[in-house]
């Protein structure tokens, strides 16, 4: 009997140095699709996915450039989605984090792969050119349980810099904040250091999912028509927790959410995961590549819900050893369970 699965697509920052070469290594047999995607990029005057992925070394200025990072992440996610063993898994819904929403649209058939590549690159260019930045900070303790003191510190900062600092992504046990350069400096200055890493300013990121993206949203709405949005072939769960059903989705509404609402409003990834498990009760959650960095945020979202008795990081780790609830295609041992 097939296992039911909700597919989760990663966002910006998931193709890093360790992922270099992964597309060629894992998807060398999908030449037709890669050729199609590279043709679109050539027409846009951009380096091909196979060229970028096959580079001799990882160069931040090249691979983290907005249209390149977006193209690599979308391609890796779509290729992974097409690799899921359909005889073993029944995909019942698809969701994603931030840029992963565009990958979800491609996986669900809203955008044909070639058109998706065009729109993904277009949105990357529009949003990367905006002002401000993004910063990430943990709101949980070492066992992935809520830390009231950290939450209060972030709330104070949001109040002190109202209109300049915004909640960008609700990302499991992390706050992703977006804002002006001054607000980002305040975050770095005022939040206590955690693990010698946080608060972490995300390189190459503008103030995504905040009102500072209003101009980018306006340009996207004018540039991409509603006719570009087909009905999804599978239910989609967005960053507001809304479910877009195959036979109850209006193109104009999906366009508005994709190009306006989620561009300049908070992306609640934690809520998307909550809706995914409560409404679809999947046997497993499958995380597409590239990378596996999204796994922690998904696990933290499940712990917050006490889903199936998961109350801590230790509980989640034990469950993963016994009967995995989360299968990350970016981890070879879990990938083998999905193919």
What confidence score (pLDDT) does residue 204 get?
A: 85
- Final residue of a structural domain among 206, 239, 254: 206
Same domain, 261 and 114: yes
- Looking up residue 307, the CATH number of its domain turns out to be 3.40.366.10
Same-domain pairing of 220 and 154? no
Residue 140 carries which DSSP code? Answer: B
Cis, peptide link before residue 135, omega less than 30° from 0? no
Q: Both 35 and 121 in a single domain?
A: yes
User: Among the three residues 158, 179, 206, which one is the final residue of a domain in this structure?
Assistant: 206
Q: Calculate the alpha carbon distances from 47 to 23, 32, 43, 278 in Å.
A: 15, 17, 10, 41
Distance CA 109, CA 101 (A): 12
| Whether 167 and 285 share a structural domain | no
Same domain? 122 vs 169: no
CB 64 within 8 A of CB 15: no
Same structural domain, 112 and 138: no
Task: Please state, in angstroms and rounded to a whole number, the distance separating the CA atoms of residues 75 and 95.
Answer: 16
Confidence band of 39 (pLDDT split at 50, 70, 90):
very high
46 and 147: one domain? no
Tens of pLDDT along 45-98?
999 999 999 999 999 999 999 999 999 999 999 999 999 999 999 999 999 999
In what helix (H) or strand (E) does residue 328 lie, and over which residues does it extend? strand 326-328
In DSSP terms, 146 is beta-bridged to 140
User: In the chain, pLDDT over 70 holds for what percent of residues?
Assistant: 100
Q: Which residue has the higher pLDDT, 193 or 13?
A: 193
CATH assignment at residue 155: 3.30.70
Per the structure, the complete domain to which residue 168 belongs is given by 133-206
Number of domains in the chain: 2
> Cβ neighbours of residue 82 under 8 Å, at least 6 residues apart?
30, 33
CA 111 to CA 218: how far, in whole Å?
20
Whether 216 has a pLDDT exceeding 90, the answer reads: yes
Q: Which residues contact 216 (CB under 8 A, 6 or more apart)?
A: 123, 126, 127, 129, 130, 263, 264
- Are 200 and 218 in a shared domain? no
List the one residue out of 204, 146, 196 whose CA is nearest residue 175.
146
Rounded distance between C-alpha atoms, residue 339 and residue 337, angstroms: 6
* Pairwise CA distance, residues 284 & 220, whole Å: 35
Helix (H) or strand (E) holding 169: strand 165-171
Same domain flag for 245 and 329 = yes
Structure tokens at 295: 């796994």
Whether residue 129 is predicted with pLDDT greater than 90 in this model: the reply is: no
Residue 82 shares a structural domain with residue 217: yes
Q: Flag whether pLDDT at 240 surpasses 90.
A: yes
What radius of gyration do the chain's Cα atoms show?
A: 19
| In the predicted structure, residue 304 carries a pLDDT above the cut 90 | yes
C-alpha closest to that of 295 among 272, 316, 267, 322: 316
Q: Are residues 240 and 321 in the same domain?
A: yes
Same domain, 123 and 138: no
Cis link prior to 199 (omega < 30° from 0)? yes
Which of 177, 206, 235 is the last residue in one of the domains?
206
95 within 8 A of 237, measured Cβ to Cβ: yes
């Amino acid at each position: 009997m097939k296992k039911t699965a909700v597919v989760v697509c990663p966002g910006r920052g998931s193709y890093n140095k360790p992922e270099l070469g992964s597309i060629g290594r894992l998807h060398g047999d999908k030449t037709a699709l890669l050729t199609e995607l590279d043709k679109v990029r050539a027409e846009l005057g951009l380096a091909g996915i196979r060229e970028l992925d096959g580079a001799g070394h990882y160069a931040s200025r090249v691979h983290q450039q907005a249209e390149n990072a977006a193209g690599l992440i979308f391609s890796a996610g779509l290729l992974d989605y097409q690799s899921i063993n359909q005889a073993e898994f029944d995909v019942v819904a698809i969701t994603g984090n931030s840029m992963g929403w565009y990958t979800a649209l491609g996986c669900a058939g809203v955008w044909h792969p070639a058109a998706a590549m065009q729109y993904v690159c277009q949105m990357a260019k529009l949003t990367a050119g905006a002002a401000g930045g993004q910063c990430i900070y943990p709101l949980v303790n070492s066992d992935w349980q809520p830390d009231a003191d950290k939450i209060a510190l972030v709330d104070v900062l949001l109040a002190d810099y109202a209109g300049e600092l915004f909640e960008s992504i609700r990302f499991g046990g992390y706050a992703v904040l977006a804002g002006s350069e001054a607000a980002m400096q305040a975050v770095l200055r005022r939040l206590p250091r955690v693990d010698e890493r946080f608060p972490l300013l995300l390189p190459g990121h503008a103030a995504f999912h905040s009102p500072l993206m209003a101009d980018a949203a306006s340009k996207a709405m004018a540039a991409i028509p509603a006719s570009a949005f087909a009905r999804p072939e599978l239910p989609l769960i967005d960053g507001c927790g809304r479910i877009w059903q195959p036979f109850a989705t209006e193109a104009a509404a999906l366009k508005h959410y994709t190009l306006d609402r989620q561009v300049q409003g908070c992306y609640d990834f934690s809520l998307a995961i909550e809706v995914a498990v409560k409404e679809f009760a999947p046997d497993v959650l499958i995380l597409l590549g590239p990378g596996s960095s999204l796994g922690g945020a998904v696990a933290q979202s499940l712990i917050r819900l006490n889903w199936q008795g998961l109350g801590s990081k230790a509980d989640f780790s034990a469950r993963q050893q016994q009967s995995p609830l989360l299968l990350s295609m970016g981890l070879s041992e879990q990938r083998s369970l999905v193919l």
